[in-house]
């Protein structure tokens, strides 16, 4: 059987598949306090030790330019993965922890890492290049072969959603230009042409792009300079990753709570009501801008696909995003439930030998 482990910053998801990739068992745990992450992970994995697991797949967010393909884990490349933790501090440390816990509980079982960055490995040089002096990359990141560049994230989800959308279309010719929108705790958008990624909203790290639940997306760099001057580097990093985005505007980091506040019309706190409505409007507006830019880059859009917990789970959010976007008049709009675990299982099943 195949175990696929998907460790996020605030959740642990896993599925067990048989050799025909049918789910035989699955589970999900929310982890609100990162200090409890390892203990909860140990509990989840311990409950699976009685199963005959002979292959384990892991979602890893950032592979940089070192890892672009599904990779069999060794002690050497696991150390290399740990060195990338700084690039995705909300994700990679937990991804690596998942690998280590599985190594301890399933000794000798092959572990394979599948990377969110893989889907974007063939972006053109025009799409992935930042307009910075080349020598700056070498000075700032001397160990890098490629330096500062766009890597893109949520690739497993975007690839799965685009593939599922294309299969759902009766006329395959009408599924050549696809925009996928992954909305969850983190959010990103991808432009896809003929099954290949053309561009994506996240960049060197998962911090840029659209407004997210706790991350600001694109901000003027001068603002970050001022924040570092005032708060220092470590505190600024914490603010940008954990206390910005929708949460930064209204104080709420869960979209369900945002929608509840807006629908309830809390008259006892009109300012909170206003800030929450503003946060949602800013969230939607930032996504609409990317849809427009990718429509231009692709030369149209055959299918617009929403995925992720928020994207596929909230018709209200989808309607808000699509409302008044005249460019979508001839575009098929779909909601695809994410299944990163199945996508990972598909990628690793043939790599056992």
CATH of residue 16: 3.30.420.40
Q: Are residues 110 and 180 in the same domain?
A: no
Q: Which residues, 6+ apart, have CB-to-CB distance to 286 below 8 Å?
A: 210, 211, 217, 218
Any alpha helices (H) in the chain, and if so which ranges? Answer: 37-46, 75-82, 92-105, 125-128, 134-140, 155-168, 221-231, 233-242, 245-250, 255-264, 270-298, 308-313, 315-322, 340-348
Number of domains in the chain: 2
In terms of residue numbers, what domain contains 229? Answer: 170-335
- Dump pLDDT digits (tens) for 71-92: 999 988 999 888 888 878 878 8
Higher pLDDT, 311 or 32: 311
Supply the DSSP symbol for 353: -
* Mean pLDDT on 121-131: 94
Question: Do 341 and 4 touch, CB atoms closer than 8 A?
Answer: yes
**Is there a domain that residue 155 lies in?**
no
Which phi and psi (to 5°) does residue 90 adopt? -85, -10
Six-digit token pair at 340? Answer: 């990163």
Q: Are strands 2-7 and 55-60 parallel, antiparallel or unpaired?
A: parallel
pTM: 0.90
Closest to 14 in 3D by CA, of 117, 105, 88, 102: 102
Q: Is residue 134 part of a domain?
A: no
For residue 126, tell me if it sits in a domain.
Answer: no
Question: For the segment 251-264, what is each residue's pLDDT rounded down to a tens digit?
Answer: 999 999 999 999 88
Active-site residue, selected from the candidate residues 18, 65, 116, 199? 116
276 shares a domain with 195: yes
326 found inside a domain? yes
- CA-CA distances (angstroms) from residue 111 to 70, 122, 268? 10, 25, 53
Tell me how far apart the alpha carbons of residues 312 and 295 are, in angstroms, rounded to a whole number: 21
* Residue 9 clears pLDDT 60, i.e. is over it: yes
One domain, residues 176 and 316? yes
Strand order in the sheet with 303-307: 196-200, 187-193, 177-183, 303-307, 332-335
Residue 218 annotated as catalytic: no
Cα 11 from Cα 186, distance rounded (Å): 13
With the CA atoms of 306, 312, 316 and 321 taken in that order, what torsion angle do they form, in degrees rounded to the nearest 10? -10
């Amino acid at each position: 059987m195949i175990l696929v482990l998907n460790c996020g910053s605030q959740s642990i998801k896993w599925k067990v598949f048989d050799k025909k990739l049918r789910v035989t068992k699955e589970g999900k745990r929310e982890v609100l306090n990162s200090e409890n992450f390892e203990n909860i992970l140990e509990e989840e994995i311990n409950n699976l030790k009685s199963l005959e697991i002979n292959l384990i797949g892991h979602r890893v967010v950032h592979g940089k330019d070192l890892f672009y393909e599904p990779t069999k884990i060794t002690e050497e490349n696991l150390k290399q993965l740990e060195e990338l933790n700084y690039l995705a501090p909300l994700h990679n440390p937990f991804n690596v922890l998942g690998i280590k816990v599985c190594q301890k509980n399933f000794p000798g079982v092959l572990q394979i890492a599948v990377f969110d960055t893989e889907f974007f490995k063939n972006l053109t040089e025009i799409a992935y290049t930042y307009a910075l002096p080349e020598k700056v990359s070498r000075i700032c990141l001397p160990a890098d072969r490629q330096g500062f560049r766009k890597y893109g994230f949520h690739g497993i989800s975007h690839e799965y959603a685009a593939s599922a959308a294309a299969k759902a279309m009766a006329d395959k010719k009408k599924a050549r230009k696809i925009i996928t929108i992954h909305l969850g705790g983190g959010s990103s958008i991808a432009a896809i042409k003929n099954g290949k990624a053309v561009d994506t909203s996240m960049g060197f790290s998962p911090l840029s792009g659209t407004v997210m639940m706790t991350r600001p997306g694109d901000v003027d760099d001068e603002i970050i300079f001022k924040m570092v001057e005032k708060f220092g580097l470590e505190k600024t990093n914490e603010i940008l990753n954990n206390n910005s985005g929708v949460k930064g505007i209204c104080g709420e980091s869960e979209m369900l709570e945002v929608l509840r506040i807006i629908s309830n019309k809390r008259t006892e706190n009109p300012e909170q009501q206003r800030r929450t409505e503003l946060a949602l409007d800013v969230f939607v507006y930032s996504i609409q801008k990317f849809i427009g830019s990718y429509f231009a880059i692709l030369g149209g859009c055959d299918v617009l696909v929403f995925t992720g917990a928020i994207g596929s789970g909230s018709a209200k959010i989808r309607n808000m995003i699509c409302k008044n976007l005249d460019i979508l008049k001839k575009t098929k709009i779909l909601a695809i439930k994410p299944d990163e675990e199945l996508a990972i299982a598909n990628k690793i099943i043939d790599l056992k030998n």
